[in-house]
A and B are shown apart, each in its own frame.
Chain A
Amino acid sequence: METFIQIGINALSLGAIYALLSLGFAVIYNTVRIFHVLHGAAFLIAGYATWWLAQEQGLPIYLAASIAVILAGASGIFMELAIYRRLRSRGAGFLVSFLGSLAALFFFEGFLLTLARTTARLPRPGGPLPTFNLQIEALDIDLFVKWHSVNTIILVAILVVAVTLFFRYTKWGRMIRAIASNPDLAVAVGINASQVYLMVFVLGSTLAGIGGVMQTYEGGVIPNVGIRLAITAAGGVIIGGIGSMPGAVVGGLALGLAQTIASYYFGGNWAIPAGFILLLLVILFRPYGLLGTREHRELRRLL
């Protein structure tokens, strides 16, 4: 029982980060229809900014983290203006946009490799994170839980609710949904698609940035992690169901759960293969995702 609760907590805190990344990816993908591998760069920017501001410049960690998240959001503006808009104006289809995105991520990772070292950068004094003792007499449970995990889970839950409310009740949310469901009609009724795209990139990159800060605070950040996290985010979107925001969150959590179970029973190296096996099973038996519906399956056939 103790083991299961421990795995559950670990899976939730890892899955929460993945859910955040997947949610950011889904926000961008559902609207712009770009396979946004550069999503990993927002994560890296936030991680390295936190480290640099907190460790090298000596800022308090909350201030450093806030600035890092704002920087990640601003990087979304840069991505849209300098990369995707340029590609779009040249009539780039999905392959060229994907390769352009991948190239930009490569450039950024190379830049970090040139600038920084390949060892992990930690934005806090080393050593283990503070924990608290979780004791439940009735179930015979005596565990030590990281405060950081609890914070991550609560923060992500709040963010998911906030994003859902944003999409449902605000003007910007309705505009984004309009562009996502029917771009031509949305433009015809006077919605400015360029502005909506900018907004979507800022929102998605901010979410990735928050994930980056939380992950970096726990385990540090290295340059090569960008593409893996971007792919994990996209995998969460597929597992959850393309076109569905709650699906992205569930997909991210499912990936976190699969990876935690695999790491616990077979060792850390099997985490990524476990994620792949989960993805493969979903593709085989429920190709429109865990929370996807027939409507989304139709959508996928178009892709």
Chain B
Amino acid sequence: MSTDAQEPQALSDGAELDDDQVEVTEPLEGWRAVVTPGRVLIGFGAFLLIALAPFATGHFTGVHVTTLHAIASVAVLAIAAVQRRYGLGGFALFILVLSLLWRFELGLSDEYMAHLIVVASVFSILASSLNMSVGYTGLMSLSHAGFMGVGAYAFAILTTETLNPPPGAEVFSLPYWPSIVVAGLVASVVAFIVSPILRLRGHFFVLATVTVMLSLSQVILAWRWMTNGSLAIREVPRPVIFGYSFDTAEKFMLFSIPVAIICIFIIRQLVESPYGRVLTTIRANPPVAESIGKNVGFVRLRVYVITAFFAGVAGAVYVSYVSVAAHSQYLVEFSTFLLIMVVLGGSGRWLGAVLGALAYVTISEVVRYVPELTEWVHSYISLFPVIPGEKTGGITTMTWGALLFFLMLFRPQGIIGRYRLE
């Protein structure tokens, strides 16, 4: 924090900043350069996937997940300590403590742990694609949950047969796997339609994206014969491969994690390539990008459409998991939560968004226990107010508001952010 206080002016000029490596004077050498926390996490993800496959039929228990969680956290913690990347180290410590708490204090069931992993994987896709637009290109978009909703509804409409179309309307029907891609494409098309807002800059682009978000969720509600309005589309199918149905959370995990890894890998390849450096240039200094012959408007349009595609895919996976396409899941509040994930994890780092999504799921789970906590305190100090269980939504919103505010105040670059937000 000492460096933050000394030169806020120099840092706010869009300068590249690696806060955690400021103190490292020489480039890392030997094994430290090879074994990075990011690679350990990826390796851990692959390991988890392979190791858990045999257990998918019901033999795998939450203890395994906690153990693996703990091992990975300790590994990342050790490497982060050696490399003096304190932000990441703090995060690993946080995950370690929480995973132990989860298992031994809160006593979550295996089914529930699997549910959290599925949700986290979907959120990782969303946060990664939003990071490509916010963290790399500087398009501060609050319309992402809207594109997720479009993808989810497109998928639900394409695959579900329980809808009642009006007489004369065509009944759409597609098999499961193409529908996921089509859902992403539909979201892209919607992003292309609203793309005139990309002409705006700064505050007014943010405003326009919020308006897009509000409009999309209202259209979903209002377009009744297509989307069932507030009645929601029910019984959206789960995927089936060669007769193997991913019908429980523990099995669905084996579907959602690979999809997440594929999506995040594609996004990573995009943003860590020369193309990604063009995006970073556009964020930091559009005139420079223009002067080296890049069509800034077209690149921004492409980024907006590509990120909408991934949001649509994530929406399709999510709606397939919860099996209900309900309008109330795709509101502007959720868009803000996605933005918080990106900012919390660290904008401009592809891994940051994944960390942000994991942190989001973890912290939200902890917040769910606040009512119980107040009851516990109340039993000792009777003056302490008890928050009833149905107020959890309000508590969650409050927590995230406070967290985002203090993040903006004290660490605008998030956990492992590459640069400080302006």
Chain A residues engaging chain B, CB cutoff 8 angstroms: 35, 83, 86-87, 90-96, 98-100, 102-115, 223-224, 227-228, 231, 234-235, 238, 242, 266-267, 269-273, 275-276, 279-280, 283-284, 287, 300-301, 303
Separation in Å of the A96 CB from the closest CB of chain B? 5
> Are A287 and B199 in touch, CB under 8 angstroms?
yes
Question: Chain A at the B interface: mostly helix, strand, loop or mixed?
Answer: helix
CA A107 to CA B399, docked complex, whole Å: 7
> Are B421 and A93 in touch, CB under 8 angstroms?
yes
Q: Choose among B201, B202, B336 the residue with the greatest number of A CB atoms under 10 Å from its CB.
A: B202
> Are A91 and B12 in touch, CB under 8 angstroms?
yes
Q: Give the residue of B200, B387, B421 whose beta carbon is less than 8 angstroms from that of A99.
A: B421
> Are A270 and B394 in touch, CB under 8 angstroms?
no
> Are B396 and A276 in touch, CB under 8 angstroms?
no
Tell me if B178 counts as interface (CB < 8 A to partner A): no
Question: Chain B at the A interface: mostly helix, strand, loop or mixed?
Answer: helix
What B residues does A106 contact at CB under 8 A? 333, 336, 397-398, 400-401, 404
> Are B401 and A107 in touch, CB under 8 angstroms?
yes
Tell me if B204 counts as interface (CB < 8 A to partner A): yes
Separation in Å of the B197 CB from the closest CB of chain A? 7
Q: Give the residue of A267, A271, A273, A280 whose beta carbon is less than 8 angstroms from that of B197.
A: A280
What A residues does B339 contact at CB under 8 A? 99
Q: Give the residue of A99, A113, A228, A266 whose beta carbon is less than 8 angstroms from that of B391.
A: A113
> Are B394 and A110 in touch, CB under 8 angstroms?
yes
What A residues does B399 contact at CB under 8 A? 110
What A residues does B23 contact at CB under 8 A? none
CA A275 to CA B213, docked complex, whole Å: 12
Interface-located stretch among B33-41, B147-155, B217-225, B302-310: B217-225
> Are A267 and B222 in touch, CB under 8 angstroms?
yes
> Are B394 and A99 in touch, CB under 8 angstroms?
no
> Are A269 and B207 in touch, CB under 8 angstroms?
no
Query: Which residues of B in the span 1-31 have a Cβ within 8 Å of any Cβ on A?
Result: 8-9, 11-12
> Are A303 and B394 in touch, CB under 8 angstroms?
no
What B residues does A227 contact at CB under 8 A? 210, 332-333
> Are B214 and A113 in touch, CB under 8 angstroms?
no
Known A231-B210, A283-B199, A283-B200: A113·B394 in contact at CB below 8 Å:
yes
Can you offer 16 A-B residue contacts whose CB atoms are under 8 A?
A: A91-B12, A96-B408, A100-B408, A103-B402, A103-B405, A107-B401, A110-B400, A111-B394, A113-B391, A113-B398, A114-B391, A242-B204, A276-B214, A280-B194, A283-B200, A287-B199
Separation in Å of the A299 CB from the closest CB of chain B? 11
> Are A114 and B398 in touch, CB under 8 angstroms?
yes
What B residues does A107 contact at CB under 8 A? 397-398, 401-402, 405
